[in-house]
């Protein structure tokens, strides 16, 4: 989601990929790519400081601050940091990584660091890494049961009363209505499967500075953060504004929660810009309805029993 929703950098070698036909009516009805705009310390800011000042580059070009772009590609799963340390050069490998990034984000696939790619990289996004190829839905792993519990650990003063909790409950209910999953709210001291809360930008389990609007994790058997259970659903309460519905400069709690719950039940990012599991979302917008893309992925993990 374009403020960034994250599960952490990873090459997702454990992911199991399944494709959905993108040539049919679903693909033809997709809206334009959605993005999130972030802010840093209350001011409009870039996802990664410095990327916006990197000029347009072609394969073979060198530029010191291009290392910022390489770091971005490493963080979100397009380059292996160990095998490709940042050099400030647009190499063949980096060009291939840019092509994968461009394809997944519905950009012109050039393999170059062009203006369109720079603009996309300087918007906020989901903190979870992207899958390794341009697929529609991507599954990682399921829970070993379908009856899950959740609790709230903290809220946000951006929203009146405790409406943020109701918005998260609505997001859980949306997934429950279309799958065999159930989500039961319990007290924080009842060993919940999922802990929901608003945290400082630099939280105990993940740094959400700059680009990450919220983050969660996969189910325990394929956890990336590996702090749980409970598995986290954490909203950035330091650099981001939160709202119920559309509000300029703010993110809709329910829309972000719906995406993060998708990660929590075992879904990775989708390449479908209309899907809840697409990595980006504009502030002042909502995305509260599951698309067939989201549902097929969830039901692959949790099929209804006859």
How many domains does the structure of the chain reveal? 2
Q: Which residues contact 197 (CB under 8 A, 6 or more apart)?
A: 152, 153, 154, 155, 232, 233, 234, 235
According to DSSP, residue 284 is labeled: S
130 belongs to a structural domain: no
pTM: 0.65
Residue 188 sits in a domain whose CATH number is 3.40.390.10
- 221 and 273 fall within a common domain: yes
pLDDT digit of tens for each residue in the chain (306 aa)?
Answer: 445 444 433 323 222 222 223 223 222 222 222 223 232 223 333 445 688 889 999 999 999 889 889 988 887 878 887 788 888 999 999 999 999 999 888 889 999 999 999 988 887 676 767 765 444 567 889 999 999 999 999 999 999 999 999 999 999 999 999 999 999 999 999 999 999 999 876 666 566 666 678 889 999 999 887 676 899 999 988 888 999 999 999 999 999 999 999 999 999 888 888 899 988 888 899 999 998 889 989 999 999 987
Asked whether residue 153 falls in the same domain as residue 279, the answer is yes
> 86 lies in which domain range?
48-122
Q: Say if residue 285 is in the same domain as residue 144.
A: yes
Same domain (yes/no): 144, 219: yes
Note whether residue 20 is domain-resident.
no
- Tell me, yes or no, whether 118 and 142 share the same domain: no
Instruction: Give the pair of three-digit tokens for residue 52.
Output: 């916006």
- Residues with Cβ < 8 Å from 96, sequence gap 6 or more? 111
Contact 129, 5 (CB under 8 A): no
Does the residue 25 lie in any domain?
A: no
Residues 167 and 295 both lie in one domain: yes
Contacts of residue 174, Cβ cutoff 8 Å, sequence gap at least 6: 258, 288, 289, 290
**Same-domain check for residues 96 and 163:** no
Its sign, for the CA torsion 129, 134, 136, 137, is negative
Structure tokens at 134: 């341009």
């Amino acid at each position: 989601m374009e403020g960034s929703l994250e599960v952490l950098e990873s090459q997702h070698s454990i992911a199991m990929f399944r494709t959905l036909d993108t040539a049919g009516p679903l693909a033809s009805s997709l809206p334009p790519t959605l993005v999130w705009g972030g802010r840093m310390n209350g001011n409009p800011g870039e996802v990664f400081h410095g990327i916006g000042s990197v000029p347009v580059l072609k394969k073979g070009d060198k530029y010191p601050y291009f290392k910022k772009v390489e770091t971005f590609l490493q963080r979100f799963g397009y380059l292996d940091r160990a095998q490709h340390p940042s050099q400030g050069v647009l190499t063949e490998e980096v060009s291939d990584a840019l092509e994968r990034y461009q394809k997944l984000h519905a950009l012109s696939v050039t393999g170059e660091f062009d203006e369109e790619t720079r603009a996309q990289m300087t918007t906020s996004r989901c903190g979870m890494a992207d899958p390794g190829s341009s697929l529609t839905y991507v599954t990682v792993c399921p829970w070993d049961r379908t009856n899950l519990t959740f609790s709230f650990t903290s809220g946000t003063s951006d929203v009146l009363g405790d409406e943020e909790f109701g918005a998260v409950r609505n997001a859980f209910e949306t997934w429950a209505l279309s799958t065999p999953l159930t989500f039961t709210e319990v007290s924080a001291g009842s060993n919940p499967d999922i802990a929901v809360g608003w945290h400082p930008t630099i939280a105990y389990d993940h740094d959400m500075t700059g680009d990450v609007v919220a983050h969660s994790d996969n189910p325990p058997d394929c956890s990336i953060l590996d702090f749980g259970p409970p598995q986290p659903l954490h909203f950035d309460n330091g650099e981001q504004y939160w709202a119920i519905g559309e509000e300029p400069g703010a993110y809709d709690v329910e829309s972000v929660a719906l995406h993060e719950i998708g990660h929590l039940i075992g879904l990775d990012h989708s390449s479908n810009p209309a899907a809840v599991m697409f990595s980006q979302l504009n502030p002042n917008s909502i995305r509260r309805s599951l698309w067939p893309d989201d549902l097929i992925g969830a039901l692959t993990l949790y099929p209804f029993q006859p």
